[in-house]
Each structure stands twice: as structure tokens, then as C-alpha cells.
Structure 1
Amino acid sequence: MTSSRVERHVRGRQAAGTSVEADLGWALGVVFRRYAKEAAAALDGVPGGPRGYQVLSTAVVEGPKRQLDLAAHLGVDRTVMTYLLDDLEKAGLVERQPDPTDRRARLIVATDQGKEAICDLERRLVQAEQAVLGSLDEAERRLFRMLLQRVAVKADAIDPVDNACALADEDVDITKT
């Protein structure tokens, strides 16, 4: 945004009398921090915490994936993924198996112990989610999740550099909501 657009944006917020509670970034931050705290407690004891859970869940739900593909899919640095898999493997939750189509690659496969663990972890995460979204009824929670997932998928598909340029070129009137 140019400096004149930033000034109009700030003046628009002040004129509209909007508080910080009306700011999307503030709301997302509050909800994220609360969910991160609840989820971390729910995933206590899982090697790698939330990332370890995501790896295990992906291996259970989507089946075997190549280690590098799994890292890319979850947005985890490949070196970090190696250490994470080492810890999950030591805990008996996943194992690396040779990829029959590429002898240089390894497939990440959930063990029986990992498949059993995922059920308990999902139950605990549902409780964490309910603690965070407790002010919404069940229908509102489903709608919130659906809308949030739609926004997340779209946001993940947009190149951040291109998106930043597009946003900077927009002249948004924030007083109209």
C-alpha cells in the first residue's frame, strides 16, 4: 500500500470507530494462540508435538508417502522432517520402508501402534477444539471450520508475492462492512 492509502486506511478505521476486536489479524491471532496452547497440551507426549501429529495423521489417513513428498505436503523443511521421523520411528509410530518404484526413496508408513495412537490423539484434539470454539453451537462450528478451510486452501494456493502485489494495488474501503 502506498503511504496515502495507508493513511486513508488508518483514518477510515478511526472514523468508523472500529476497535482492535474488529481487526481480522487480532481475532485470528487470539484464536490461533488459544488453539495452539490447547492442541499442544492435547498432543503432549507425541514426538514433535503438532508436527509429529500431522505426519502421523497423514500417514494413517493418506497412506504411505515418500519422505520428501510428505515434507513438501506439510510445509516442513526436509532436514527437520528427517529428525521428526527419527523421533516418530523411535516411538514406534511410523516406519520408513523402501519405495518399490524408486530404491533411493523411503515411504513413511504408520505402524499398528501409530494407527491406534491416532484415535486417542484425534479425540483429544476434538476436546481442544471444543474448548476454543465453545462459544459457538455445533452448526456454527461446522460452518466456521468449512469457511476457514476454504480460506486456508485458497490462501495456500496463492503465491504470496503475487498476492501481496494484488493487495497493494487494491483500494479497499474498510468502512464498508
Structure 2
Amino acid sequence: MTTDTAPAPEAASTASTAAAAPPQDALGAAPDVSFLLQHTAHVLTTQMTAALAEIGMSPRAHCVLAHAAQSERTQAQLAELSDLDKTTMVVTVDQLERAGLAERVPSATDRRARIIRVTAAGADVVAAGQQIVDRVHGDVLGALPERERAVFVAALNRLAGGHLATPADSPEGAQGVRRPRQARK
């Protein structure tokens, strides 16, 4: 008889494998991944919104401004990168223009297109906003044990670039499912 209370190495391995397995409810159902992703995305959005409010920005405005600062882009290109519909994009750029952070200028290559150019003041706001975004994201990752951070980000990237990369088409009349931008009429 041993007085050692630590589990044998194979028992410890089994215990850690069981802890890593997806939790199931009493009926053996799979975890509610939809709830977990939606809830965490919602809370992250509220945290990001509160943090960016410190500099008078919304996450949407920061996203558009940051993408516009990276490269010469049209309003349509920025809408696609920011996952915004045309109406929301117009309202957002109007707000950025009124704030003196961006301006619409003619494209040098397509006279029908307008480029969203970030002003000097806008560039300062992008830099300040990026520090805030990085802080909020750092706080999220900091809530995980260090050994899980890279695995978590890799798993999210794999889902976002693979199985969850393309929204499913929803049948006409379906509620609560956003159709992909191309399918809208």
C-alpha cells in the first residue's frame, strides 16, 4: 500500500485527456458551440466598443479607418473587408468625413470610383485605436493559460478559413440567418 496520492502517470494522462474532451450535457449532447461563439463574440464586442469609446470611435469605424489606412481602397472594397453592407458603409464613411478622419477622393485609375483616404488626424486615431484593439485582444488571450493561447488562435483561424469560412444560404423567409452579401438583392 502506498501513501502517495498523486495519480499514476497513465491515470494523469487519462484525466487530462478527459478534461480536454468536449463537455456533454446529461443526455450526452454535444456542447452548444453556437452559444459559446455567439456569447463570447457579443461580450468581446461590448468590451471593444467600451474601450474604443475612450477615443470616440466605434469598432466599425475603427475597422473601416484601419483598412483604409493600409492601402488605397474604394468604398466597396472597404465594405467587403469590413463585412458591411453598402448602406452601413456609406453612413460610416459619412461619420468619418464629418469627424475629419477620412475623405472621399476620386480614384486615379477609375474615375467612377471614390477612394477613402485617411487624413493625418485619422492616421493618429487609427494608431491610438490599434493600441486599444491590441490591448483588448491581449486581455482576452491573457485570460487563457499561456500554453492554450496559440492553440486557441490556431483553432479559430482554422474554423474561420475552413469549415466556417462561408455562410450557408438560407431559404427565403428564414429568420435570423444572414445571407451572404452576393445573395442579397
Counterparts of 2:32 and 2:149, CA distance in 1 = 21
Alignment of structure 1 residues 88-107 onto 2, 5 Å: 88-107=96-115
Provide structure 2 residue ranges, at least 5 long, that are not aligned to the other structure.
Answer: 1-23, 171-185
Identity of aligned residues (%): 32
The one of 27, 42, 53 equivalent to 2:62 is 53
Counterparts of 1:39 and 1:131, CA distance in 2 = 11
Is 1:15 aligned to residue 27 of structure 2?
yes
The one of 101, 105, 126 equivalent to 1:118 is 126
Greater relative contact order structure (CA < 8 Å, 6+ sep): 1
Q: What SS class does the counterpart of residue 104 from structure 1 fall into?
A: coil
CA drift at 1:64: 1.3
Q: What SS class does the counterpart of residue 102 from structure 1 fall into?
A: coil
Superposition RMSD on alpha carbons, in Å?
Answer: 2.5
Find the counterpart in structure 2 of residue 72 from structure 1: 80
Higher helix proportion (structure 1 or 2): 1
Q: What SS class does the counterpart of residue 137 from structure 2 fall into?
A: helix
CA drift at 1:41: 0.8
Counterparts of 1:156 and 1:57, CA distance in 2 = 24
The one of 130, 140, 158 equivalent to 2:148 is 140
CA drift at 1:30: 2.6
TM-score with structure 1 setting the length: 0.70
Query: Do the aligned partners of 1:31 and 1:132 also contact (CA within 8 Å) in 2?
Result: no
Q: What SS class does the counterpart of residue 114 from structure 1 fall into?
A: helix
- The Cα offsets for residues 7-40 of structure 1, whole Å up to 9 and x where unpaired, read as xxxxx95432x58xx3212221231122111100
Counterparts of 1:55 and 1:41, CA distance in 2 = 18
Q: What SS class does the counterpart of residue 136 from structure 1 fall into?
A: coil
Counterparts of 2:147 and 2:128, CA distance in 1 = 24
Counterparts of 1:160 and 1:103, CA distance in 2 = 36
Query: Do the aligned partners of 2:104 and 2:116 also contact (CA within 8 Å) in 1?
Result: yes
CA drift at 1:159: 4.9
The one of 122, 125, 131 equivalent to 2:139 is 131
Higher strand proportion (structure 1 or 2): 1
**Structure whose alpha-carbon radius of gyration is higher:** 2
The residue identity in structure 2 corresponding to 1:50 is P
Find the counterpart in structure 1 of residue 178 from structure 2: none
CA drift at 1:55: 0.3
